């Protein structure tokens, strides 16, 4: 695919997803500066032309240059892509805000909800921009997309969202390739809630698999999990149709069934009897659903939305409730109609 306009893009976060997106963008012809927190990681990426810790086996071309200096990475860039974990998202974004130029677009590819404020990542950015008096357009990128598969060029479809159609279209053009199809949306809150909350359902699906239950159970969890996500999303102003799309059902199915899903892996090990702290200690990368469960639980209570799967996963993660008891609590709830119109 021909590149119409070469962009100079900053990618903030050199984990597997940030590195995969840097590779995607540079392979398309954009110049990318990739920010990593640790100088030794920067040196290794620039020297070896590969992120051997988080995305081994995928060479990076010379259009990707890593740096641990935010000012250097941000200065002069019109497109900034945020790909750091949700629990450090605000602190990193706050540090880079002073270096933002005029008419820039900041895109979040992080899927989570901030624990203290209960804000999505776009809301965190808007909050920090408002405090600083600096203006920038905000967008998000979400959808069913494992980093390794994107880096390998396996056909993938995602959604980008922004409040303005023209901004969403700009982001769409930057990322779109023959193997990375990008759809546009103006439903920021719906796309972000779908992206964050599906990780919790994936933990539940992993627990189910770890307990030895079958595909019947997994299908039920995915379907009823989507119902919970939709209820909360609609209460918070999202378009219900968003949750039948890539950022809703698409991402949910991938994360609940894929072997590359970190959140499903956490659930799988919990179902097999391992303790949460031991599981997290073994993992190199962040499973966002663990942090998000706490914030989503608070959010559901604030909004007065019934979310029984979320409730039980919260109790498993933070009250040490046995997985078998959590399953029984779900199965023995009062009978209900499936759809409430």
* CA separation for the pair 272, 314 (Å, rounded): 18
Distance CA 191, CA 333 (A): 29
Tokens 């109790």 appear where? Answer: 315
Q: Rounded to whole angstroms, what are the CA distances from 122 to 16, 90, 129, 207?
A: 21, 10, 11, 30
Active site residue 198: yes
Residues 299, 318: Cα–Cα separation, whole Å: 16
HEC sequence for 59-83: CCCCCEEEECCHHHHHCCCCEEEEC
| Other Cβ atoms within 10 Å of 29 Cβ, number | 16
**Using CA atoms, how far apart are residues 184 and 197, in angstroms rounded to an integer?**
20
Helix ranges (H only) for 211-275 are 215-235, 251-257, 262-271
CA distances from 238 to 188, 227, 231 (A): 8, 13, 9
From the list 63, 198, 235, 274, the catalytic residue is: 198
As a whole number of angstroms, the longest Cα–Cα distance in the chain is 60
Reduced to 3 states (helix: H, G, I; strand: E, B; else coil), residue 175 is helix
- Residues annotated as part of the active site: 198
């Amino acid at each position: 695919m021909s590149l119409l306009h070469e962009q100079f893009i900053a990618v903030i976060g050199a984990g597997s997803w940030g590195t995969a997106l840097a590779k995607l963008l540079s392979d398309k012809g954009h110049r990318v500066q990739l920010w990593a927190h640790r100088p030794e990681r920067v040196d290794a990426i620039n020297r070896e032309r590969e992120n051997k810790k988080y995305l081994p086996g995928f060479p990076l071309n010379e259009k990707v240059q890593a740096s641990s200096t935010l000012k250097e990475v941000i200065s002069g860039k019109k497109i900034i892509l945020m790909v750091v974990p949700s629990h450090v998202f605000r602190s990193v974004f706050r540090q880079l805000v002073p270096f933002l130029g005029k008419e820039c677009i900041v895109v979040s590819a992080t899927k989570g909800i901030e624990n203290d404020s209960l804000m999505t990542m776009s809301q965190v950015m808007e909050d920090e921009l408002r405090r600083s008096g600096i203006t920038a357009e905000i967008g998000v990128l979400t959808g069913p997309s494992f980093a390794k598969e994107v880096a390998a060029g396996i056909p993938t479809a995602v959604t980008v969202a922004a409040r303005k159609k023209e901004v969403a279209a700009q982001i769409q053009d930057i990322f779109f390739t023959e193997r990375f199809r990008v759809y546009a949306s103006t439903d920021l809150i719906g796309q972000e809630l779908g992206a964050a909350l599906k990780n919790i359902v994936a933990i539940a699906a992993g627990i189910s698999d770890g307990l030895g239950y079958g595909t019947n159970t997994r299908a039920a969890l995915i379907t009823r999990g989507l119902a919970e996500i939709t209820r909360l999303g609609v209460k918070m102003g999202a378009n219900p149709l968003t949750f039948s799309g890539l950022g809703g059902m698409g991402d949910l199915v991938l994360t609940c069934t894929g072997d590359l899903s970190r959140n499903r892996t956490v659930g799988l090990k919990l179902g097999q009897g391992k303790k949460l702290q031991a599981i997290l200690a073994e993992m190199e990368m962040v499973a966002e659903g663990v942090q998000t469960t706490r914030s989503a639980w608070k959010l559901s209570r604030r909004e007065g939305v019934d979310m029984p799967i979320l409730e039980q996963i919260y109790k498993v993660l933070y009250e040490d409730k046995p997985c078998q008891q959590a399953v029984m609590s779900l199965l023995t709830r009062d009978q209900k109609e499936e759809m409430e119109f």
